[in-house]
Structure 1
Amino acid sequence: MKLYHGGDTIVKTPRILATDHIGDFGIGFYTTTDIRQARNFVTIKCDRKKLSSGYVSIFEVPDDFLENPNLHIRIFSKADEAWVIFVEANRRQPDFAHEYDIIKGPVANDQVYASFALYEADLLNFHELLERLKVRKLTDQVLFHTERSLLPLTFIESEKIECRLK
């Protein structure tokens, strides 16, 4: 199975790095099974950093890597109540910690964050937030949260993405 990581540099050896941007599932190395999602993330990164190009790093993992009995793995199959609570905790609580090595689930896009903002402003209740999430087509993300979780990743190649400077 292939996984894709979009960024501003080629990543041949993934690492767990603390950044100023906490993702949906916390700190770690983010990938996706959707190359379009990775390419889109490159363009977002280019816009943020005013870059003319970025890269999708492509990795191979065993098809059954999410069944490793030696790793603590959490899979969110959809954007449901448990997913919302987990994403919100990671994004709003700077000291939030979890025990998972790998987490797979939907990625929250801009429309989802707009719904979160309405919820946080008490303009939507929790049930209304969940109903809005049900109609969104969300791509996936796979977070590698610990050093040992990175072991199944094998770098294959990279793809350069040209970005339009705004």
Structure 2
Amino acid sequence: MITLYHGSNIEIEEIDFSKSKPGKDFGVGFYLSPDEEQAIKMAEKKARLLGGNPIVTRYEFDEVAAEADGVAYLQYEKYSLEWGLFVHKNRNNKTCTSLHSYDIVYGPIADDDIGFQMRRIDAKLIDWEQFVKEIEHKGGETYQYFFGTERSLKYLRKL
């Protein structure tokens, strides 16, 4: 079991995918962090931008059961070309229709620096080869879990 954290400006009573916004790193879904400090920072940011108070909701994730049940799971251990292409595709998807069939995705968060590099790609200022050169020694990754299907939610328990 892993403890995961969701930072917001509201208490999460029930996970509702319809409240997720398009254009996120791994698509429309519910995002959690294995790092409580990261979730606190996200909660503070959301409260600053949207009002309300910073709230961190804790969940227990049964990764063993999810794996045993054969959920569709994608994992990126570090920044890479494959990760960049996946995030770029999802960030450019402005619909609520998923571009992939994974129940759960784990990988680095695309921070402001990565977002800047992706905008440079879109503007044709750099290509994907240069993108990889820009990020390969970046380090300092913070990670996130994406739960994108109703099936994936059965492995989460609110604490």
Corresponding residue to 2:114 among 87, 99, 112? 112
Q: 1:144 to 1:63 in 2, by over 3 A?
A: closer
My pick for the range that moved more, 139-148 or 67-76, is 67-76
Does the 8 Å CA contact 1:15/1:147 hold for their aligned counterparts? Answer: no
Q: Does 1:16 align with 2:17?
A: yes
What aligned pairs does 1:51-70 form with structure 2 within 5 A after superposition? 51-65=51-65, 67-70=67-70
Output the aligned Cα RMSD: 1.8
Shift, 1:94, TM fit: 2.9
4+ runs deviating over 4 angstroms: none
**Residue in structure 2 matched with residue 48 of structure 1 by the alignment:** 49
Task: Give the corresponding residue for 1:3.
Answer: 4
- Distance in 2, Cα, partners of 1:94 & 1:63: 30
Identity of aligned residues (%): 27
Q: 1:30 to 1:10 in 2, by over 3 A?
A: same
State the Cα distance separating 1:66 from its structure 2 match.
Answer: 5.4
Separation in 2, partners of 1:127, 1:87: 16
Aligned residues: 155
Give the C-alpha shift of residue 65 in structure 1: 4.9
Taking structure 1 as the reference length, what is the TM-score of the superposition? 0.84
The TM-score with structure 2 as length reference comes to: 0.88
Q: Which whole-Å CA distance do the structure 1 matches of 2:64 and 2:100 have between them?
A: 23
In 2: Cα distance, 1:76 partner to 1:106 partner: 7
Any stretches of 5+ residues in structure 1 without a counterpart?
Answer: 157-166
Query: Residues 20 and 30 of structure 2 are in contact (CA less than 8 Å); yes or no, is this contact kept in structure 1?
Result: no
State the alpha-carbon separation in 1 of the partners of residues 3 and 102 from structure 2.
Answer: 21
- Counterpart of 2:40 in structure 1 is 39
